[in-house]
Amino acid sequence: MFLPENIDLACSEKYILSIRLLPNGFSFCISSPTDPEVFCYKETAFGNRLSYAENVKKMVFDLGFLSQVFLKTEVVLVSDRFTLVPAPFFDAKKAKTVFDFNLHPEENEAVLYNILNDNDMALIFGINKDIYAFLLRSLWNPVFTHHVSHFIPAFLCFGDEKTTKRCHVDFQDSMITVVCMDARKLLSANVFEYDDASDGLFYIVSVWEKQGLDQMTDSLYLSGKTEKQKYSVEVLKKLIKNVQVMNLPLKATIPQEDAALVPTDLRMELCG
């Protein structure tokens, strides 16, 4: 695996490793908390020959350096299996009970949670037990998070002071994340998988209407792979007056084809 020359794995304890478990693939990012030029993001899609768990294990075995000692090792699960609970009502001992009540339980699933202190929320999510156990013993002290736990605080700072309510939509290949805010208050967070643009638009408009956002005064922010969603962007601009496509350039110098894959929350952490 090719890594930039300025990443010295003999000093891996200086870097942050972020692994993403994508719906149909795997990615990893190596970065430095002190030098934005130290940055590498690689993503690969899985085939059908092996199961998802087998593919994850193969990636970790093939990329042996992922098991090294890093300053921080984080595993980010990208999925639609999560639920939010206001912090005052959250009890860690009852996390699985709440999760199973709000979502249809799946076999062989571990239930984890992230605390979102800035939003006074707890996000509960599920992860395959075999993958969780494997990564727990194969990586150096990994922290497990859900991708929505990154989006919510990242979107917190965006918005027009004159317009309190806003909707943030992040496009991925077959998934959209929709987060609605009223000033610094979280209204809702949803993740939808979709097959075509019409389905994606239906989900976005449905959330917009459900949260009572105004087409003339409230704002819609679009991020992610918007270049592949030109039709959806144009339709949304016709429906909503204040639509902004977020341009988040990276400080890091990496090949253009790799930069296009970098997730929005990582861009927000590293953009100028």
Chain segment 34-86, per-residue pLDDT in tens: 888 888 999 999 999 999 999 999 999 999 999 999 999 999 999 999 999 99
Report the CATH superfamily, name and number, of domain 159-245: Protein of unknown function DUF3822, C-terminal domain (3.30.420.260)
Q: What is the tens place of the pLDDT at every residue in 136-191?
A: 999 999 999 999 999 998 887 776 555 679 999 999 888 999 999 998 889 999 99
Query: Residues 250, 258: contact at Cβ < 8 Å?
Result: no
The CA distance from 236 to 215, in Å, is 10
Q: What is the tens place of the pLDDT at every residue in 219-265?
A: 999 999 998 999 999 999 999 999 999 877 776 666 666 777 888 87
Which is it for strands 143-146 and 72-77: parallel, antiparallel or unpaired?
Answer: parallel
- What pTM did the predictor assign? 0.93
- Give the fold, CATH level 3, of 1-156+250-272: Nucleotidyltransferase; domain 5 (3.30.420)
Domain range annotation of the chain: 1-156+250-272, 159-245
* E-strand stretches of the chain: 16-22, 25-31, 39-45, 72-77, 82-86, 109-116, 121-128, 143-146, 165-171, 175-182, 185-193, 219-224, 242-245
Same CATH fold assignment for domains 1-156+250-272 and 159-245: yes
Amino acid at 143: V
